[in-house]
């Protein structure tokens, strides 16, 4: 199962550089739904640093905020999903 997690994390990081913004966001959602992953927050921070065109002071760090929401907001859903499977 760890190989899937590492594969999703690497696809997110590569997706930030290569793909449009919705692709890493979907991958971050899948990663946060199936794994307890703090990497989602770091990927969001990396995406904001890559895509902020006007500098840090002129734009909202949307992907970092989405990463926080995905990492902590999906926690109850993930716990419910895995408690039903056991």
What radius of gyration, in Å, describes the C-alpha atoms of the chain? 13
Number of domains in the chain: 1
| Distance from C-alpha of 50 to C-alpha of 16, rounded to nearest angstrom | 8
Structural domain including 18 reads 2-85
pLDDT given at position 24: 92
Q: DSSP for 51-68, please give it.
A: H-SS-GGGS--HHHHHHH
1 band by pLDDT with thresholds 50, 70 and 90: confident
pLDDT in tens, 37-72: 889 999 999 999 888 766 555 678 889 999 999 888
- The whole model's pTM is what? 0.81
Mean pLDDT for the chain overall? 86
Nearest C-alpha neighbor of 78 from the set 7, 30, 43, 41: 30
């Amino acid at each position: 199962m760890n190989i899937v997690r590492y594969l999703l994390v690497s696809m997110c990081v590569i997706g930030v550089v290569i793909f449009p913004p919705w692709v890493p966001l979907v991958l971050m959602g899948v990663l946060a739904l199936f794994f307890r992953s703090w990497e989602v927050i770091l990927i969001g921070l990396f995406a904001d640093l890559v895509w902020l065109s006007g500098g840090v002071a002129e734009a909202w760090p949307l992907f970092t905020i989405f990463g926080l929401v995905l990492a902590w907001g999906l926690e109850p859903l993930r716990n419910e999903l895995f408690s039903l499977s056991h």
